[in-house]
Structure 1
């Protein structure tokens, strides 16, 4: 049965941005509007919460230790030993109503993360790249809701979602320079209530796309645009997914209970939970930030 099961009844307001720390064997994820990131241990089922004092859209492991966060006021480093939160740069200091949303590292250790308006209106979001030397450069502009990112196993393609377009874009990707070119629509979601949100990729090059208001994660073929499989989630607002575990065949799925009515919450008591699905294919590793 293609149904995800609950592993943590977190009741997150806006769970998002998961990543897998293979060295520490921890799943990191964020609760954006509750200004926190989490470290979930799949073996013990424990979940440690770290309050960071501002909205946080994504978290990734750092090769030198700790994690890097994409937050409301830019990029930050967090040190688990000292608890220190160190600002690395804010490219949108002039846009106080914007915040970072989803993000991910490429194989060269760059952290890609995009912005959006906190009221989810307008199109002044930008996809940025935080280089290992801590320089920040804009890559794509004019975005409404910057969201899921994934790379092909040969690092020649990068996939990106701007949610309100309902499209997964595919770009030619140069790993050495970290540049994009020749974008095309790889997957087009049908008109309806759901929007593409976060995303990951498996070793066969198929994309796993979380659907906000869709109650599912879909497995898509970016070469044909075909939906191959649906994993049902007992929460409408499915936000993102990531492969994890020793064999990289466990998918962890974040969800949201943001703006759900009392009646909707009654029908979705597990909304905001962290879910798990055992895939029949291995997935891409979470790359760590190189700086």
Structure 2
């Protein structure tokens, strides 16, 4: 069902490829990235203040980590970012990644591990796959052979993990535990529901429902734990990339958007595209664990 709720633009970021929106509970701010313009943004909803740091390459995501740092996924590997000094420091490469790949999206699980995906930067080759960063070690985990990966997203209890194959228009799910991840199986065929749109960044809410941005689809969609479409919310932008829950009660949905594939006529139709948007969510998110670096 379509849900009508006021959606507001909270930051005119001018993003080419906004992504990776995440709530920083310790600082009470939102972090998100603009991959193509190498930007790491933060936004303070209490007073509207914001600032941007320039990363040393395409930055797919930034997650709050222990010690007040952020762990970031860039094109050439993992970096830490210190918000105080504004320094990016290379932490490690991702073993075996082709030179033409980059990192795209990520999340933490309840144990402080980071699940992330890689993809062909030209969006042509099925060279992307998923990994887990576990206290300084990286290993392949989850599906491979994907052109554009998105997610992963982990359930509140950590018993399920969702992987998105954007070009195939499908979301997969696998069982998850502290000991490892199971075989991915079909969860939702978004192509059957939204044939002209592509599932982008997913997130799970406190009721174990999965939300996804719809690239070329102008909506975010919500799926039940059984993969049934239950809600969709129209957005004032065409290319919706990622949603995250924030605010003190985790009841505000923040949404990133993109403009990199939009023509002038598209921008006239969606003049707010590239902004960070927010709306009052019908359900809360849940508090994500900070990254354990070692």
- TM-score normalised over the length of structure 2: 0.94
Deviation of the 1:190 alpha carbon: 2.9
Q: Which residue of 2 aligns with 1:267?
A: 269
Deviation of the 1:92 alpha carbon: 5.0
* Aligned partner (choices 91, 101, 107) of residue 98 of structure 1: 101
Q: What CA distance in whole angstroms lies between the structure 2 residues aligned with 1:209 and 1:288?
A: 22
What is the number of residues matched between the two proteins? Answer: 287
Q: Which residue of 2 aligns with 1:40?
A: 43
Of 212-221 and 179-188, more deviation after overlay is shown by: 179-188
Structure 1 gap segments, 5+ residues each:
none
Confirm or deny that 1:189 pairs with 2:194: no
* Aligned partner (choices 231, 236, 239) of residue 238 of structure 2: 236
Deviation of the 1:277 alpha carbon: 1.2
Q: What CA distance in whole angstroms lies between the structure 1 residues aligned with 2:97 and 2:236?
A: 39
Q: Which residue of 1 aligns with 2:162?
A: 159
Confirm or deny that 1:17 pairs with 2:20: yes
- Given that 1:64 and 1:290 are in contact with CA atoms closer than 8 Å, whether structure 2 keeps it comes out as no
CA RMSD of aligned residues (A): 1.3
Q: What CA distance in whole angstroms lies between the structure 2 residues aligned with 1:47 and 1:92?
A: 35
Q: What CA distance in whole angstroms lies between the structure 1 residues aligned with 2:49 and 2:132?
A: 32
- Given that 1:171 and 1:181 are in contact with CA atoms closer than 8 Å, whether structure 2 keeps it comes out as yes
Q: 1:94 to 1:181 in 2, by over 3 A?
A: closer
Q: Which residue of 1 aligns with 2:247?
A: 245
- TM-score normalised over the length of structure 1: 0.95
Q: Which residue of 2 aligns with 1:204?
A: 207
Deviation of the 1:253 alpha carbon: 0.3
Q: What CA distance in whole angstroms lies between the structure 2 residues aligned with 1:93 and 1:38?
A: 29
After TM superposition, the structure 1 = structure 2 runs for residues 66-215 of structure 1, keeping only pairs within 5 Å, are 66-91=69-94, 95-132=98-135, 134-140=136-142, 141-174=144-177, 176-177=178-179, 179-191=180-192, 192-215=195-218
* Aligned partner (choices 53, 59, 64) of residue 62 of structure 2: 59
Structure 2 gap segments, 5+ residues each:
none
Q: Give the secondary-structure state (helix, strand or coil) at the position aligned to 1:190.
A: helix
Superposition misfits of 4+ residues, deviation over 3 angstroms: none
Deviation of the 1:3 alpha carbon: 4.3
Q: What CA distance in whole angstroms lies between the structure 1 residues aligned with 2:12 and 2:234?
A: 17
Q: Which residue of 2 aligns with 1:7?
A: 10
Q: Give the secondary-structure state (helix, strand or coil) at the position aligned to 1:266.
A: helix
Of 147-156 and 99-108, more deviation after overlay is shown by: 147-156
Deviation of the 1:199 alpha carbon: 1.1
Q: What CA distance in whole angstroms lies between the structure 2 residues aligned with 1:35 and 1:24?
A: 22
Q: What CA distance in whole angstroms lies between the structure 1 residues aligned with 2:286 and 2:171?
A: 18
Q: 1:5 to 1:83 in 2, by over 3 A?
A: closer
Q: What CA distance in whole angstroms lies between the structure 1 residues aligned with 2:154 and 2:215?
A: 21
Deviations 1:14-59 (A, max 9, x none): 1001111001001000000001111110111122101012000011
Confirm or deny that 1:277 pairs with 2:291: no
